[in-house]
Structure 1
């Protein structure tokens, strides 16, 4: 193992969006078992510090890989298309219109049923974006696909925030 390896290499996984979560969890447990500082207690402080670095590295990689949106952003970055959500907010006009329609529908919703119907629509759009990511971030994807994927990740970031707004609206209507 090398501390400089990318997360996928560290876990012995192909660089693609679709991952088997149970397999990832099993690999994480195995790696943690190999590098946990307690295994190196008899070898002294220096060995334990190195083991701690490894343990932190494995946990950080696991945190990125287990979250689909973080995994997608990481893949985009590895392929030369960083998300840069703070600096790059450019989105296709159709998605911007969809955002506006969703916002208006949420503002106009007067009962939980209306908000839940909107949530179902947003979940469907989210699933479509995730399916596109799976295709765009296949193991052999090129830089152009990574750029398209970065745009989808930014869209999914909006969808995640909007779904939080939906949850707050449902909570507000339920009171």
Structure 2
């Protein structure tokens, strides 16, 4: 089952997230297990499986990184558990600098402002990589598109670490 087809969407990176949410709610309502409580057990199981597929599809398509990986998987490129390294030295150096910057936030004079500034920086860089991915994907340069997704994964991890640091700082 193609997730884009499930929600009647074009197979593109840019999505109407509001339209996705509307389609999701409609499908969720249509395949809600309570609607089939009186059916045979076999049909109930099928409906529950369909509901689970709808949830998986929605979670995948609503997240830009997951959506990019899914688009590549439709082209036969699986990035899920791969351990391929990035050979872009400039990118790796910038990641080291960002990690140092993240480590310094806790000791900043105004940690909350430092978090906000760092978050904006990450958002901009992720946006640039997303645009680069989309251009490469649309041009069917899947090797370069996959490289952009690998880089986006670095930013996703940084964002997660930033959120953890923010929780730690705000809990004080």
TM-score by length of 2: 0.83
Residue equivalent to 1:28:
24
Choose from 75, 78, 84 the match for 1:79.
75
Within 2, Cα distance between the matches of 1:97 and 1:40?
55
Residue equivalent to 1:150:
146
User: How many residues were matched structurally?
Assistant: 167
Asked if 1:123 corresponds to 2:120, the answer is: no
Shift of residue 68 of structure 1? 1.2
Higher relative CO (CA 8 A, sep ≥ 6), structure 1 or 2? 1
Q: Is the 8 A contact 1:83 1:151 kept in 2?
A: no
Asked if 1:59 corresponds to 2:55, the answer is: yes
Q: Is the 8 A contact 2:72 2:146 kept in 1?
A: yes
Shift of residue 108 of structure 1? 4.3
Within 2, Cα distance between the matches of 1:148 and 1:118?
27
- C-alpha offsets along residues 134-169 of structure 1, whole Å, 9 cap, x if unaligned? 32334xx42xx2222221112111112112333444
TM-score by length of 1: 0.81
The 10-residue stretch of structure 1 (13-22 or 34-43) with the greater mean CA deviation from structure 2: 34-43
Show structure 1 runs of 5+ residues with no match.
none
Show structure 2 runs of 5+ residues with no match.
none
